[in-house]
Amino acid sequence: MRTLAFYNLKGGVGKTAAAVNLAWCAARDGLATCLWDLDPQGAASWYLRDTTGLDIKAKKLLKGKDTLASQSRPTELPGLDLIPADTTYRHLDRLFDDNDAPREVLAQLVKPLAARYDLLVLDCPPSFSRLSENVFTLADAVAVPLIPTPLSVRAFSQVMEFLAQKRLAEGRLFPFFSMVDKRRGLHRQWLDAPPQDLPNLLGAYVPYASVVEQMGQHQSPVTQFAAHSPAAAAYQALWEELRVHLDFN
């Protein structure tokens, strides 16, 4: 099983929309896929029409009272399962610190999923935390959506600095431009000549589009309800790039 995480230090950059759409792209490719919504706000769960939360508290899950696999459930999209968001995720950092190997907790939790899934997609909350350390330790690739602005690049640089301080691998970070508005000069400029301090920048980008905002109305991926839209094509192109880095041939 491969693990693809979606992360950004900033919110409001299209992270969850990308996680949901690419998870569905993977499922349509025939990969048994599970999306774990790690953000207590639960936007990914909402998009996939599940707001029920876990059957048990996160504390019991971490103590081995039940397996993570028991918490996954099918969505309405064939081949795509969900482990939903839960309000008790807000306590994860403290629970991780109670463990003898706090950076390895997530990796141990997901092991049973490998018997069932080809791909695990993580939608992560926007913060530096013990949880984010676990994500960076576990993930085979971390996709980082960036709006083409200097503040976004600064936030990405802060993530790189965090990884260096924690001695975590930096080569698995894959930034990509999100919410691109070609009416803006800077956005066009960066598409033509991206900043050099964005290693592993993906070539595909997600446009600023009302159809992405409509995910909340349809509670479904753009690649499902508007499969022929430019935004759907963009998500598909992102997936095609990332599947290569995840060694899905």
- CA dist 153 and 178 (Å) reads 12
Query: Percentage of the chain surpassing pLDDT 90?
Result: 73
Residue of higher predicted confidence among 117 and 162: 117
What are 23-73's pLDDT values in tens digits? Answer: 999 999 999 999 999 998 999 999 999 988 888 788 888 777 778 888 999
Label residue 88 by pLDDT band (50, 70, 90).
confident
Nearest CA-CA partner of 84 in 113, 115, 55, 118: 55
Nearest CA-CA partner of 42 in 83, 88, 84, 93: 84
Q: How many domains does the chain have?
A: 1
Global pTM? 0.95
What's 69-100 look like in SS3? HHHCEECCCCCEEEECCCHHHHHHHHHHHCCC
Strand partners for 36: 83, 122
Enumerate residues 6+ apart whose C-beta is below 8 A from 179: 13, 14, 145, 147, 206, 207, 208
- Whether the pLDDT of residue 19 is over 90: the answer is yes
What are 102-123's pLDDT values in tens digits? Answer: 788 889 889 999 999 999 999 9
What pLDDT, on the 0 to 100 scale, is given for residue 66?
79
Q: What is the DSSP string of 188-220?
A: HHHHHS--TT-TT--S--PBP-HHHHTHHHHTS
Between 10-14, 96-100, 103-107, 189-193, the lowest mean confidence (pLDDT) is in: 96-100
Residue of higher predicted confidence among 241 and 87: 241
Query: Percentage of the chain surpassing pLDDT 70?
Result: 100
CATH of the domain at 170: 3.40.50.300
What pLDDT, on the 0 to 100 scale, is given for residue 29?
97
Residue 103 lies in domain: 2-245
Which helix (DSSP H) or strand (DSSP E) does residue 22 occupy? Answer: helix 15-28
- CA dist 99 and 156 (Å) reads 29
Strands (E), the chain: 2-6, 33-37, 73-74, 80-83, 119-123, 141-146, 173-177
- Whether the pLDDT of residue 144 is over 90: the answer is yes
Which residue type does 244 have? V
For residues 129-155, give the mean pLDDT: 93
For residues 215-242, give the mean pLDDT: 97
Label residue 101 by pLDDT band (50, 70, 90).
confident
What pLDDT, on the 0 to 100 scale, is given for residue 54?
84
What pLDDT, on the 0 to 100 scale, is given for residue 167?
87
Tokens describing residue 34: 């599970």
